[in-house]
Amino acid sequence: MNQSFRKLWNITFLFVGPLWALFVWMVWTSGQLRTPQQEVLFFSVVIPGFILIYLSGFLIAKRHARKQRSASS
């Protein structure tokens, strides 16, 4: 890899973020969410899910780096 994982991961999310927002907008305007409880549930899953996926990339990178260090020792 020529660049750091962190930089590539952030660039990926610069492209994925707008697509994710488009998906959220499509679901929101589709009429599938009929009650305020459904809307709250939708956002309480979608927003933390996006953040969790973003942060998991850094956890994966950290774990991979640790494995590489232990394998080279």
Query: How large is the average pLDDT for residues 22-43?
Result: 95
Q: Are 68 and 16 in contact (CB under 8 A)?
A: no
Model pTM score:
0.74
- pLDDT at residue 1 tops 70: no
Is the model more confident about 1 or about 51?
51
DSSP state of 33: -
Note the pLDDT of residue 21. Answer: 94
Query: How large is the average pLDDT for residues 3-13?
Result: 86
Q: 12 is written with which tokens?
A: 């990926």
pLDDT band, very low/low/confident/very high, at 7 (cuts 50, 70, 90): confident
All residues at 6 or more sequence positions from 6 whose CB lies less than 8 Å from its CB, including other chains:
58, 61
Is the model more confident about 54 or about 72?
54
